[in-house]
Structure 1
Amino acid sequence: MWGLFLSLLSWLHLSPVGYFADLIGTTEPGLKLLISILMGYPLAIVYHKYVRIQYKEHRNNYFILTGFDMAFYNFGISMFHNIIPAVVMYVSTMVLGPGKKNVIVSLIFNMGYLLIGYVVTESEDYDITWTMPHCVLTLKLIALSFDLWDGKKMSKGEELSANAKKTALTTAPTFLELIGFVYFPACFLVGPIFSFRRYSDYINDKFPLDKEEDVYNKQAMTRLIQGMIYLIAFQVGVTVFSMKYIQSDEFWDAGIFYRHLYCGLWAHFALYKYISCWLLTEASCIRFGLSYNGSEKDDDKVVSKWDGCSNIKLLRFEFATKFQHYIDSFNCNTNHFAAEYIYKRLKFLGDRNLSQGCTLLFLALWHGTRSGYYMTFFNEFMIMYMEKEFESIISKTNIYKRMWANTAISYALYFLLKLYTIVFMGWSLVPFDVKVFSKWWSIYASLYFSGFLFFLPWAFAYKPLLLSVKNRL
């Protein structure tokens, strides 16, 4: 009950958290969040040492108790907001049964509750309130309603996709199982999201925890160290590259290329905040044993994989040369949710671009009501539309193949593409960070609206020109 103890110290004005927050230049809620994320690892150790074997019947209760403790420490009595959707989900499933109606209720209620929470709590700053874990919870419960529907389809003999078969549920969770799933301490605050099927398999001993203990302990420690490194890099990076400077008059006095590069480097280090949190939570998930992801052959040996809760692919992210690499590597579980439960379920629209646009609109709405979120996801749509079409045209030409076959030219191309991704990631992320229209519009003005000029004319100007040049070659 560490959270309750620290809350008591805070109530008695004896907590050192505020002091240390000022010392390292962060907010008290931010430091409390970090403490809670780090606590996932020792909670996993305690679980394996005292709960998993000795008190097998209380595994789920352990997750509920520790999750409640963590929620109360961070949000106090506001933690009740995270219980209400779980109760509604349980009741709607019992009353309506698994199926389309239950999915509709889940979508409307969970997204509606989250959006109302945003309206009530959201400000122009980065707020740490009950809506932060609630956005993770929203996706988990929506996915659960779809998984129950898929299970109903499967029991009727309907064909499902390979991914849907992995998460489909033929039996609804009990109320206590649902609460344990919601409050699982390693993932409650910042994710990653995971399916109830994974949680059920985990607590019912379907993962090789005893056989592979040395393997997942080592991988957990690796992720923990990586998370701490990225946390330090974030603290250093945002000190060197500051959003306050980007919003200042001095930023306008710098050269245009410098402004673009500075903004891109700021964005790259700003993303380390999320990466460090995901690495630290993944370390806890692995240490708990939740991350088991099957096995594969490696040099004629069968090795287990423990990346089932991975939310970041570090090498793909750091060496990205196109925005598809960012999508493939960053916030992987949320992207998987968007692909499986939104994009693919919109197949009936009959148009991939329309399905993608609706999916990105859903993700923007999921993040909040501020205009900056919608601008960021519009940027993603705009960039990905151009990237995919440009690549499909240019990759088929002989000159493209010869350029990449030449070592010197390939290095130069890699440098240019890396520069492109860094610069325009900065462009894309600015609205997401500052949120308010007046702020991101002013920054875009300082960058001469370069992103709009570079990407928007693709369909009616750049693409016809490129096709004309290609036909002449």
Structure 2
Amino acid sequence: MIGLFLSLLSWIGLSPVPLAAYLIGTTEPALKLLISILLGYPLGIIYNKYVREYKEYRNIYFIVTGLDIALYNFGLSFYHNVLPAVVIYLSTKLLGPGKHNAIITFIFNMTYLLVGYVLTESEDYDITWTMPHCVLTLKLIALSFDLWDGKKMLKGEKLSETNKKTALESTPQFPELIGFLYFPACFLVGPIFSFRRYLDFISDKFPIEKEAHSLEDQAMKRLVQGLSYLVAFQVGISVFSMKYMLSDEFWETSIIYRHFYSGLWAHFALYKYIACWLLTEASCIRFGLSYNGKKKTEMGEVSQWDGCNNIKLMRFEGATKFQHYIDSFNCNTNHFAAEYIYKRLKFLGNRNLSQFFTLFFLAVWHGTRSGYYVTFFNEFIIIYMEKELESIITKTEIYNKLWASNAKYLLYGLLKTYTIVFMGWSLIPFDVKVFSKWWRVYASLYFSGFMLFLPWALIYKPAVIKIVKMISPPSKEN
């Protein structure tokens, strides 16, 4: 009940949090959020040492600790997160685990979330009950589809291998459902995980006792990485700031400098999310929720603890195209979008259309401000261009020769520069959110991203094809 204790200290005016937030240059809600995220690690230690042996108290422990964190951060507003859980529980009981239940769950949760955004959203980075609610929204939507998939499986209908792993043949008990939603390690900022994983975890299907040493090592590794990225984020934002990019002084610098500055700002801005995900993953591992089977190596079989992994660090830091960012960043949300939105839009008969609506869903899920929609539109046009350009140039002999020679280092440097610079371009609207701000920064960059990516199909693509045919015949492999 640490959250309750800290809330009491705040109520009587003895909380150290406001002063600490002032000293480190952040807001009180942001520091409370960080404290709550860090609490997940010791709660995992307590669970495995004192609670796990009592099966009947496991869900109760998760509910009590999760509600404690919710009360500390959002006060009585925590009820917003409980209500949708009650609705899906009742709708599943009344309608059964099928298509209609999935549709109602989708519409209700997205509507509730959007209304919450309208009532609470401002121009700043808001930490309100909508923050955990956007995570819960995806978990509940996925749960309703998993129940539907379970019904299909019982009828003998064919499912993909991925859907088979998450399909549910029975409806959740209410304590299990609330424990699943309020799981303290990742209630606030994710990552999301399937109800099937939660059931396996509380049903002792993960060999936590046998793998205690491996669990502790992997949890500590992620904890150290998370704290390191948190420090890097604090250092980065002290050097690269959005406030400066919105100033008149920024306009007085060269256009090249502005592009590189915005790119480096974005890279460090993303460290905020990476740090949070690494810290929550450390807590998930410490609980034992992240167990993901064993894999064979040269040293023998080793346990994997990446079941709640939300960031692939090496892929992210080494990215040379935007697809690498998508593959490595916010992995669980991307998996949700692929499995529960993109693949279920197959009836549209067009991959680009399915991708467009998937990105539109993600924009709506983030909020109502125009910046979210511009950022995901940027992702759509960039990925569209990258895929088509890559399919053209990788078939040429000169391309393969360059990557086989020492010129690959130069190519890597150019591609790395491209991804950093235009990640800045893409992320600016997401951060500032409102039209007047992102338009001002885009104007200072002369709308370079739109000039590069939007005309691809009509202007650049025909020119690239013509040039490729002139300078390089197709490679032997293609």
TM-score surpassing 0.5? yes
Q: Which residue of 1 aligns with 2:420?
A: 422
Gaps of 5+ in 2: 473-478
Q: Which residue of 1 aligns with 2:146?
A: 147
Q: Which residue of 2 aligns with 1:257?
A: 256
Q: Which residue of 2 aligns with 1:243?
A: 242
Pick which of 354-363 and 293-302 moved more.
Answer: 293-302
Q: Which residue of 2 aligns with 1:20?
A: 20
Deviations 1:437-467 (A, max 9, x none): 1110111000000000111111001100111
Which residue identity does 2:41 align to in structure 1? Y
Q: Which residue of 2 aligns with 1:30?
A: 30
Q: For residue 227 of structure 1, report the CA deviation from its aligned partner.
A: 0.3
Partners of 1:326 and 1:469 lie apart in 2 by 29
Matches within 5 A, 1:387-402: 387-402=386-401
SS of 1:459's partner is helix
Q: Which residue of 2 aligns with 1:464?
A: 462
Matches within 5 A, 1:65-464: 65-299=64-298, 301-407=300-406, 409-464=407-462
Partners of 1:114 and 1:420 lie apart in 2 by 35
SS of 2:214's partner is helix
Q: For residue 56 of structure 1, report the CA deviation from its aligned partner.
A: 2.1
Q: For residue 300 of structure 1, report the CA deviation from its aligned partner.
A: 6.1
Deviations 1:152-190 (A, max 9, x none): 000011111011001000001011110000000001000
Which residue identity does 2:17 align to in structure 1? V
Q: For residue 379 of structure 1, report the CA deviation from its aligned partner.
A: 0.1
Q: For residue 304 of structure 1, report the CA deviation from its aligned partner.
A: 1.5
Gaps of 5+ in 1: none
Which residue identity does 2:439 align to in structure 1? W
Deviations 1:194-228 (A, max 9, x none): 00000000000000101111001100000000000
Q: For residue 470 of structure 1, report the CA deviation from its aligned partner.
A: 2.0
Q: For residue 36 of structure 1, report the CA deviation from its aligned partner.
A: 0.3
Equivalences, count: 471
Which residue identity does 2:393 align to in structure 1? I
Which residue identity does 2:215 align to in structure 1? Y
SS of 1:461's partner is helix
Partners of 2:45 and 2:291 lie apart in 1 by 17
Partners of 1:362 and 1:196 lie apart in 2 by 22
SS of 1:312's partner is coil
Which residue identity does 1:336 align to in structure 2? H
Partners of 2:69 and 2:464 lie apart in 1 by 55
Partners of 1:444 and 1:26 lie apart in 2 by 27
Q: For residue 471 of structure 1, report the CA deviation from its aligned partner.
A: 2.2
Which residue identity does 1:284 align to in structure 2? S
Q: For residue 124 of structure 1, report the CA deviation from its aligned partner.
A: 0.1
Give me the identity figure in percent.
Answer: 74
Pick which of 391-400 and 463-472 moved more.
Answer: 463-472
Q: For residue 469 of structure 1, report the CA deviation from its aligned partner.
A: 1.7
SS of 1:303's partner is strand
SS of 1:6's partner is helix
Q: Which residue of 1 aligns with 2:50?
A: 50
SS of 2:131's partner is helix
Partners of 1:293 and 1:264 lie apart in 2 by 35
Partners of 2:52 and 2:106 lie apart in 1 by 34
Partners of 2:106 and 2:8 lie apart in 1 by 37
Q: Which residue of 1 aligns with 2:475?
A: none
Q: Which residue of 2 aligns with 1:8?
A: 8
Partners of 2:151 and 2:73 lie apart in 1 by 38
Partners of 2:251 and 2:469 lie apart in 1 by 42
Which residue identity does 2:34 align to in structure 1? L
Deviations 1:211-250 (A, max 9, x none): 1110011000000000000000000000100000000000
Residues 160 and 300 (structure 1), Cα distance of their counterparts in 2 relative to 1, 3 Å cut: farther
Q: For residue 268 of structure 1, report the CA deviation from its aligned partner.
A: 0.2
What TM-score do you get using the length of structure 1 for normalisation?
Answer: 0.99
Partners of 1:49 and 1:204 lie apart in 2 by 17
SS of 2:355's partner is helix
Partners of 1:255 and 1:263 lie apart in 2 by 12
Which residue identity does 2:48 align to in structure 1? H
SS of 1:83's partner is helix
Partners of 1:28 and 1:402 lie apart in 2 by 55
SS of 1:296's partner is strand
Q: For residue 299 of structure 1, report the CA deviation from its aligned partner.
A: 1.3
Which residue identity does 1:455 align to in structure 2? F
Q: Which residue of 1 aligns with 2:476?
A: none
Deviations 1:22-76 (A, max 9, x none): 00000000000000000000000000111001x2210010000000000000000
Which residue identity does 1:433 align to in structure 2? D
Partners of 2:165 and 2:136 lie apart in 1 by 20
SS of 1:429's partner is helix
Q: CA RMSD in A?
A: 0.6
What TM-score do you get using the length of structure 2 for normalisation?
Answer: 0.98
Partners of 1:182 and 1:202 lie apart in 2 by 14
Partners of 1:471 and 1:312 lie apart in 2 by 39
Q: For residue 394 of structure 1, report the CA deviation from its aligned partner.
A: 0.3
SS of 1:50's partner is helix
